[in-house]
Amino acid sequence: MSASFFKICLKYSLGLIFMLFLQSISAQTDFGQLEKIIKQNEKNLGKDHVVVIQKDGKNIFFKDTEDFKLKTPAPLGNSSKWLTAALVMIFVDEGKIKLDDPVSKYVPVFGKYMKGYITIRHCIAQTTGLDTDATGIVKFTQKSKFNTLEEEMEFFASKKLIVDNPGEAFSDGSVGLNMAGRVLEVITKKTFDRVAQEKLFRPLGMKTASFYDEGGKAPNPSSGASCSAFDYLNFMQMIMNKGMFNGKKVLSESAIEVLLSNQYPEARVRYNPDLTKGWNYASGCWMEEENGNGKGIVYSGASAQGVWPWIDLKRKYIGIVLPASPMSFQKRDLFTQIKSAVESALEQ
């Protein structure tokens, strides 16, 4: 082979490599608008926060701050409910409980006060019929007055008013998921925070996740979890992958179907926070977008505290906004802007 021929081949090879490089650069997703929105809302998001968008198991957008990183844990607020509902479904998969079991089968005090008709399904769908509480910033920052979930259930059974027949009305609050959490304590003979560690967090590699109350009070299955953005993304990966994580089955496909389905589509709404008004509720999460058949397209664990994890099944990506401290402003408009910017970038 002559030297001149070799030089010609090398010249064209380098040219081809350069063109492929440029093609790769141009094919990268442009998140300029998303970066602009985050920059404009730094005051609202707080000094420390993380925003991550993940597709095909890879971070395609990532923004953190100097003192708050991808693996830094923070309180989840009401985004805890999604984790608790999934934990309940693990025990359904194992045959330890059934969704239509009455809670009083495991926590007899509810039968004593004529509330034995409430089922575990009612609990995870938040349609127990018991008077609930608004779960805003005040509730989130308020310390629990109960030392154990058992003590809290005694209060629910004896003091909570019956305002609806179970399954007839949806009301967001801390009642249903906390009742379900106590059921898990009874059947395992372990505290709820320990059950969550052993059955959900460890299998998903969620090393920073915990329901443990550092003040020594009762764990709160509705709003008491904390974890990092990295760990919550692991959880959503499992949901997106129909119960699989790192080649292992954490939940069955039928369990995922329950988590992502509105269990009582005919139920009226007694209480729905302003943040989530107009959205239907599945099991522990919100259905932000639905198709014409009532099936969810976008699901989220949107929280009044500003934590916003979501799964987009149509566009096949997951995302999370995790502030280090609760936000105190109306967040829906900001979340909508962020989501719209992501969609625009992915559609380019």
Q: What is the third-level CATH fold of 32-346?
A: Beta-lactamase (3.40.710)
Condensed to tens digits (0 to 9), the pLDDT of residues 200-222 reads 999 999 999 999 999 999 999 99
Digit-coded pLDDT (tens) for 98-136:
999 999 999 999 999 999 999 999 999 999 999 986 444
pLDDT confidence of 80, banded at 50, 70, 90? very high
Residue with tokens 């926060």: 49
Banded pLDDT at 29 (limits 50, 70, 90): confident
Nearest to 233 by CA among 285, 310, 119: 310
Q: What is the model's pTM? A: 0.90
Is the pLDDT assigned to residue 23 strictly greater than 70?
Answer: no
Q: CA 55, CA 58: separation in Å to the nearest integer?
A: 5
Backbone dihedral angles phi then psi of residue 209, each to the nearest 5 degrees: -80, 140
pLDDT at 28: 67
In this structure, which amino acid lies at residue 138?
A: V
Handedness of CA 88, 92, 94, 97 (dihedral sign): positive
Give the percent of the chain with pLDDT over 90: 81
**Max mean pLDDT range (28-32, 61-65, 303-307):** 61-65
Nearest to 86 by CA among 209, 267, 186, 268: 209
Residue ranges of E strands in 138-254: 169-171, 226-227, 244-245, 248-249
**Mean of pLDDT over the chain:** 90
pLDDT of 259 strictly over 70? yes
**Other beta carbons less than 10 A from residue 209's beta carbon:** 25
Summarised one tens digit per residue, pLDDT across range 272-311 is 999 999 999 999 999 999 998 888 999 999 998 899 999 9
Question: Domain map of the chain by residue range?
Answer: 32-346
For residue 3, pLDDT over 60 is answered with no
Residues 239-262, mean pLDDT to the nearest whole number: 97
d(CA 282, CA 176): 13
Distance, CA of 322 to CA of 49 (rounded, Å): 6
